[in-house]
């Protein structure tokens, strides 16, 4: 079965073709990062308009690369949410119109399920059950995953997401958007022990997170540096960046290990944009090694938003028998 998938929930237009037998055949991505950079964050109206511009050429490109004709397709998958409403509407509207025109079923996919199952795209994929740490710009969750569609929420953030903590701290440090990779780059020149920043809720006894206090602590440190006339110094900012990254990574690693202890599992899967963070990867790889288990990450280019994870989630759901293709044909409810 051949499925084309569309992702347009935020600032990336992604299209991919995946096959239930042969896996991912082709994927293409257009990132709007350069367009939003001047504004220091995603401008929803600009995002929607750019999705409109990109989605048709990307679709042609992917079909070409996969060597697939529209009439070869068996289904169309699209990100139904969560995300920016206008941006989602472009992908969902286009996908459903495409499906209707080709008389194909249209499969709505939850964006987070896309992230969650993306590590299964790696050459060495994890077996169920596993604990998943989902860390993106909008979400921070720990889940127990027993199979496709069998997810139990173990804990989540009570305020900011981990990616948001990176992005907001980066902004305070005068860095560009998106802040995570920029902060991480600056942190390479700094000392992670330079500033004692809080590790919110690390010992709260549950598996929830909170990152808003960390942002306030970074703001306070930044103000102190300004008072000392050191706020623009490379070393001082790099030290603060490294200390911030260390605090976020400490909390994420500690809660992930607590989740593994509670569930008795030894497989951890990390997904979402923050999963691209080198320190988080190194820390969790080592920690799981010490446990006699293993940490899995999606291929680096598939950590952030992309169409491959949406096509892939649809393939996984189809393989697991969770999709009623007939019910999703024609006039099925428009689920955004
Ligand atoms: O999953 P994603 O592409 O979009 C959402 O669904 O939110 O995640 C984007 C988030 C942003 O907050 C970005 O700063 C963060 O992932 N991110 C990183 C890194 N690369 C992306 N955070 C820390 N280190 C990175 N290397
Ligand atoms: Zn995402």
Domain 128-297 has CATH 3.30.420.40: yes
In angstroms, the CA 136 to CA 115 distance is 9
So what's the pLDDT on residue 332?
52
Is residue 333 predicted with pLDDT exceeding 70?
no
Q: How confident is the model at residue 232 (pLDDT cuts 50, 70, 90)?
A: confident
| 235's tokens | 């070393």
Is residue 14 predicted with pLDDT exceeding 70?
yes
Indicate if 128-297 has the same CATH topology as 2-116+303-319: yes
Across 109-113, average pLDDT: 95
Q: Quote the ligand 1 centre to 315 CA distance (angstroms).
A: 25
Given ligand 1 and candidates 170, 244, 304, 308, which is best to mutate, with the most ligand atoms within 8 Å of its CB? 304
Other CB atoms within 10 Å distance of the CB of residue 51: 29
So what's the pLDDT on residue 230?
72
Sequence ranges of the domains in the chain: 2-116+303-319, 128-297
Is residue 51 predicted with pLDDT exceeding 90?
yes
pLDDT tens by residue, 124-159: 899 999 999 999 998 999 999 999 999 999 999 999
Across 300-327, average pLDDT: 92
In angstroms, the CA 118 to CA 301 distance is 11
Q: Which residues contact 229 (CB under 8 A, 6 or more apart)?
A: none
CA dist 303 → 275, 278, 281 (Å): 6, 12, 12
Q: Which residues contact 303 (CB under 8 A, 6 or more apart)?
A: 118, 271, 272, 273, 275, 276, 297
Cβ of 181 below 6 Å from ligand 1: yes
Q: Identify the CATH homologous superfamily for domain 2-116+303-319.
A: ATPase, nucleotide binding domain (3.30.420.40)
The answer to whether the CB of 262 falls within 8 A of the CB of 207 is: yes
| 66's tokens | 């996969």
| 88's tokens | 């989602």
Q: How confident is the model at residue 50 (pLDDT cuts 50, 70, 90)?
A: very high
- On the CB side of 223, how many CA atoms lie within 13 Å of its CA? 6
Flag whether the pTM goes above 0.95: no
Report the share of the chain in percent with pLDDT over 90.
85
Nearest ligand 1 atom, CA 137: 7
Report the share of the chain in percent with pLDDT over 70.
98
So what's the pLDDT on residue 228?
85
- On the CB side of 291, how many CA atoms lie within 13 Å of its CA? 19
Given ligand 1 and candidates 166, 214, 284, which is best to mutate, with the most ligand atoms within 8 Å of its CB? 166
Cβ of 83 below 6 Å from ligand 1: no
């Amino acid at each position: 079965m051949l499925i084309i998938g569309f992702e347009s929930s935020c600032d990336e237009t992604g299209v991919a073709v995946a096959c239930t037998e042969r896996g991912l055949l082709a994927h293409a991505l257009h990132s709007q990062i350069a367009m939003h950079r001047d504004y220091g964050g995603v401008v929803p109206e600009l995002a929607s308009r750019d999705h409109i511009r990109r989605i048709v050429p990307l679709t042609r490109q992917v079909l070409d690369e996969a060597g697939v004709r529209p009439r070869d397709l068996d289904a169309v998958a699209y990100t139904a949410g969560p995300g920016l409403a206008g941006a989602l509407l472009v992908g969902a509207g286009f996908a459903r119109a495409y499906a209707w025109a080709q008389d194909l079923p249209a499969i709505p996919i939850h964006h987070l399920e896309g992230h969650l199952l993306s590590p299964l795209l790696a050459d060495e994929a994890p077996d169920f059950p596993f604990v998943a740490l989902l860390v993106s710009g909008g979400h921070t969750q720990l889940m127990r995953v027993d199979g496709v569609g069998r997810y139990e929420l173990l804990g989540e953030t009570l305020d900011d997401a981990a990616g948001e903590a990176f992005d907001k701290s980066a902004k305070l440090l005068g860095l560009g958007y998106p802040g995570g990779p920029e902060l991480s780059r600056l942190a390479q020149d700094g000392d992670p022990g330079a500033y004692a920043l809080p590790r919110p809720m690390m010992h709260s006894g549950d598996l929830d997170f909170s990152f808003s206090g960390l942002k306030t602590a970074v703001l306070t440190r930044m103000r102190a540096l300004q008072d000392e006339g050191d706020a623009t110094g490379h070393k001082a900012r790099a030290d603060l960046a490294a200390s911030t990254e260390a605090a976020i990574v400490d909390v994420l690693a500690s809660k992930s290990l607590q989740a593994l202890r509670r569930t008795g599992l030894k497989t951890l899967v990390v997904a979402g944009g923050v999963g691209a963070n080198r320190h988080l990867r190194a820390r969790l790889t080592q920690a799981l090694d010490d446990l006699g288990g293993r940490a899995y990450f999606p291929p680096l280019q598939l950590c952030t938003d992309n169409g491959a994870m949406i096509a892939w989630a649809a393939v996984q759901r189809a393989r697991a028998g969770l999709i009623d293709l007939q019910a999703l044909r024609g006039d099925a409810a428009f689920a955004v």
